[in-house]
């Protein structure tokens, strides 16, 4: 194991406008950690599982004594977890019973373009017709009304993916109100490892929110137009941390190893997760795109919006009766989640020194290079964010990328941006001209670029021709146009 700390780089930072809740907030660590239910197929055939999800409003008990209206997949926040096998196709019929258009994206999925959730390939609620989606006259999208079927081949290794809304200009408010969930892919290589399993494998979907006095979500939507009020262009951050939809929950554990699949589903908040008392560290076994080659030990875990870290925590280092709290060091050690170590128990799990067979790629020479500049933009009356000087325009493809060709992409920033590429994962080659950073190991699909940094990644698209996206995953930045189309050919 190598112990890392974030010495070399610019320190992570939090930007964004803090929204303070007006509702009375609960004491932390009273609510048990919920685990999102695993979605069951409605029908199964050779090689294909069929599912049906209803996007609907629901009134949930998130804060004590108050109701919060959410937009939820199956009315849940987070949505149900898909737990599927690599190589088996998942077909999901999404039914829109909301009063807003949606678009579902499988984040990290190796997905054909027609199912990738292009922001104008809308699913309209019943009774609404194509061409009118909120304020815009939408053009160029494949619009369906009532229901829409998404096909995910899952032709990729085991990994922690997630799905969420991707409607143009409205992703941030719609994800904030609940449209997100996990999609786990498993495979034989991973199953054979002696990792913690069953109820010792826990998803932790972390997201911050703020609540109005009546319990509803506070979100500063623009009054006349899409997206967020411009005051919030840095991002919306809230004062309540939800884990799996519950505020500062508590979870009872045995004094054994646990596997935690951590997703930062926040719109704009970064976390630096740490335990309030030792000796436990995080042993990272996987990243966005599945298992690492070998485990990496971290004292703290810096996680930007949309990133996933798959970690093992060994609670046998604590005594029964001990309480250990996950806190966010980027926010004055504010609370996230508490573990209560209940009892000793037997544990046959191990962390193998070699986790998977994937190769760390060397930096190739003589390949196609592209630069993507993420900046605040004031071009042509656009006040927002840009990529290569341009706000998102669904009619403009900023690059044509050949399949099966190695490319080196450089991400260049002004301020902090978590950069995400659809369709294929990448490997980080360098940060600020030096090696990979401590959190850059493995296959990534989202990489946090710190202020005034350049990060080089190696990417190769191996299948599916069509229109895909690169964008900032600070969702307010994304809605304020920090997104670009590219085409695979």
Q: Which residues bind Cu ion (CB under 5 A)?
A: 417, 472, 474, 477
Environment class of residue 57 by beta-carbon count within 10 Å: exposed (0-12), middle (13-18) or buried (19+)? middle
Which span (153-161, 294-302, 395-403, 467-475) binds ligand C2O, by CB under 6 A?
A: 467-475
Q: Which residues contact 338 (CB under 8 A, 6 or more apart)?
A: 28, 29, 248, 249, 250, 251, 323, 324, 325, 326
Which of the residues 252 through 291 are near ligand C2O (CB under 6 A)? none
Which span (94-102, 246-254, 292-300, 469-477) binds ligand C2O, by CB under 6 A?
A: 469-477
Compare residues 73 and 211 and give the one whose CB is closer to ligand C2O.
Answer: 73
Q: Which residues contact 139 (CB under 8 A, 6 or more apart)?
A: 120, 394, 395
- Peptide bond preceding 229 in cis form (omega within 30 of 0): no
Contact of residue 471 among Cu ion, ligand C2O, none (CB under 5-8 Å per partner type): ligand C2O
| CA dist., res. 246 & res. 34, Å (int) | 7
Which span (20-28, 60-68, 434-442, 466-474) binds ligand C2O, by CB under 6 A?
A: 466-474
3-state secondary structure 283-320: EEEEECCEEEEEEEEECCEEECCCCEEEEEEEHHHCCC
Residue among 38, 112, 104 nearest 71 (CA): 104
Is 444 an interacting residue with respect to ligand C2O (CB under 6 A)?
no
Compare residues 21 and 474 and give the one whose CB is closer to ligand C2O.
Answer: 474
Binds ligand C2O by CB under 6 A, chosen from 259, 422, 444, 467: 422
Contact of residue 110 among Cu ion, ligand C2O, none (CB under 5-8 Å per partner type): none
**Host H or E run for residue 472:** strand 466-472
41 Cα distance to chain centroid:
23
E strand residue ranges, 166-200: 180-186
Environment class of residue 220 by beta-carbon count within 10 Å: exposed (0-12), middle (13-18) or buried (19+)? middle
Cβ at position 330, least distance to ligand C2O in Å = 21
Contact of residue 105 among Cu ion, ligand C2O, none (CB under 5-8 Å per partner type): ligand C2O
Contact of residue 270 among Cu ion, ligand C2O, none (CB under 5-8 Å per partner type): none
Is 166 an interacting residue with respect to ligand C2O (CB under 6 A)?
yes
- Peptide bond preceding 78 in cis form (omega within 30 of 0): yes
Cβ at position 175, least distance to ligand C2O in Å = 9
Strand partners, 54: 95
Cβ at position 417, least distance to Cu ion in Å = 3
| CA dist., res. 346 & res. 255, Å (int) | 9
Contact status, residue 132 vs residue 100, Cβ threshold 8 Å: no
Cβ at position 469, least distance to ligand C2O in Å = 5
Strand partners, 368: 407
Compare residues 165 and 314 and give the one whose CB is closer to ligand C2O.
Answer: 165
Site string for ligand C2O, 112-131 (x = CB under 6 A): --------------------
Compare residues 300 and 386 and give the one whose CB is closer to ligand C2O.
Answer: 386
Cβ at position 420, least distance to ligand C2O in Å = 5
Cβ at position 421, least distance to ligand C2O in Å = 9
E strand residue ranges, 166-289: 180-186, 201-209, 236-238, 240-243, 246-247, 250-254, 257-264, 271-275, 282-287
239 Cα distance to chain centroid:
19
Contact of residue 477 among Cu ion, ligand C2O, none (CB under 5-8 Å per partner type): Cu ion
**CA of 417: how far to CAs of 109, 235, 302, 361, 429, in Å?**
21, 11, 14, 24, 18
Contact of residue 417 among Cu ion, ligand C2O, none (CB under 5-8 Å per partner type): Cu ion
Which of the residues 67 through 106 are near ligand C2O (CB under 6 A)? 105
Is 306 an interacting residue with respect to ligand C2O (CB under 6 A)?
yes
Judged by CB under 6 A, how many residues of this single chain contact ligand C2O? 10
**CA of 335: how far to CAs of 38, 270, 272, 421, in Å?**
27, 14, 11, 31
Site string for ligand C2O, 146-165 (x = CB under 6 A): ------------------x-
Cβ at position 382, least distance to ligand C2O in Å = 20
Cβ at position 239, least distance to Cu ion in Å = 21
Which span (44-52, 268-276, 373-381, 465-473) binds ligand C2O, by CB under 6 A?
A: 465-473
Cβ at position 166, least distance to ligand C2O in Å = 6
Compare residues 108 and 238 and give the one whose CB is closer to ligand C2O.
Answer: 108
Contact of residue 209 among ligand C2O, Cu ion, none (CB under 5-8 Å per partner type): none
| Residue 99, Ramachandran bin (φ over 0: left; ψ between -120 and 50: alpha; else beta) | alpha
Q: Which residue is nearest to ligand C2O (CB)?
A: 107
Compare residues 338 and 420 and give the one whose CB is closer to ligand C2O.
Answer: 420
Buried b (16+ CB within 10 A) or exposed e, 98-107: bebbbbbbbb
Enumerate binding residues for ligand C2O (CB under 6 A): 105, 107, 164, 166, 306, 420, 422, 469, 471, 473
């Amino acid at each position: 194991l190598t112990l890392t700390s974030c010495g070399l780089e610019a320190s992570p930072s939090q930007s964004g406008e803090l929204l303070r809740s007006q509702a009375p907030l609960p004491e932390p660590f009273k609510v048990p950690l919920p685990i999102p239910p695993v979605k069951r197929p409605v029908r199964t055939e050779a090689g294909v599982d069929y599912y049906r999800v209803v996007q609907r409003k629901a009134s949930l008990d998130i804060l004590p004594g108050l109701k919060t209206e959410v937009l939820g997949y199956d009315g849940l926040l987070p949505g149900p977890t898909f737990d599927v096998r690599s190589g088996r196709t998942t077909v999901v019929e999404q039914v829109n019973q909301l009063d807003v258009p949606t678009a579902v994206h499988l984040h990290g999925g190796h997905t054909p373009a027609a199912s990738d959730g292009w922001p104008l390939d809308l699913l309209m609620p019943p009774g609404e017709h194509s061409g009118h989606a909120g304020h815009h006259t939408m053009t160029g999208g494949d619009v369906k009304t009532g229901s829409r079927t998404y096909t995910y081949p899952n032709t990729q290794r085991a990994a922690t993916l997630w799905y969420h809304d991707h409607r143009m200009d409205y992703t941030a408010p719609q994800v904030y109100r609940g449209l997100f969930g996990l999609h786990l892919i498993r495979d034989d290589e991973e199953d054979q490892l002696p990792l913690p399993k069953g109820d010792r494998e826990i998803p932790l979907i972390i997201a911050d929110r703020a609540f109005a006095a009546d319990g509803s979500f506070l979100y500063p939507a623009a009054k006349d137009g899409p997206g967020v009020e411009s005051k919030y262009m840095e991002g919306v951050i809230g004062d309540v941390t939800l884990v799996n939809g519950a505020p500062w929950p508590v979870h009872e554990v045995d004094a054994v190893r646990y596997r935690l699949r951590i997703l930062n589903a926040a719109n704009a908040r970064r976390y630096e997760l740490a335990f309030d008392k030792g000796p436990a560290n995080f042993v990272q076994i996987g990243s966005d795109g599945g298992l690492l080659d070998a485990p990496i030990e971290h004292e703290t875990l810096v996680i930007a919006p949309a990133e996933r870290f798959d970690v093992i925590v060994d609670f046998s280092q604590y005594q029964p009766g001990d309480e250990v709290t996950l806190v966010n060091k980027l926010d004055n050690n504010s609370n996230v989640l508490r573990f209560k170590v209940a009892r000793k128990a037997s544990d046959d799990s191990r962390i193998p020194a070699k986790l998977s067979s994937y190769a760390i790629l060397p930096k190739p020479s003589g390949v196609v290079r592209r630069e993507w500049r993420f900046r605040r933009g004031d071009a042509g009356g656009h006040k927002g964010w840009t990529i290569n000087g341009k706000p998102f325009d669904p009619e403009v493809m900023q690059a044509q990328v050949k399949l099966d060709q190695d490319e080196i992409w450089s991400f260049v920033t002004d301020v902090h941006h978590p950069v995400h590429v659809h369709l294929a994962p990448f490997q980080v080659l360098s940060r600020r001209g030096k090696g990979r950073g401590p959190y850059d190991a493995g296959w990534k699909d989202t990489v946090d670029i710190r202020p005034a940094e350049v990060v080089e990644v190696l990417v190769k698209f191996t299948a599916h021709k069509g229109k895909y996206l690169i964008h900032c995953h600070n969702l307010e930045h994304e809605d304020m146009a920090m997104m670009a189309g590219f085409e695979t050919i």
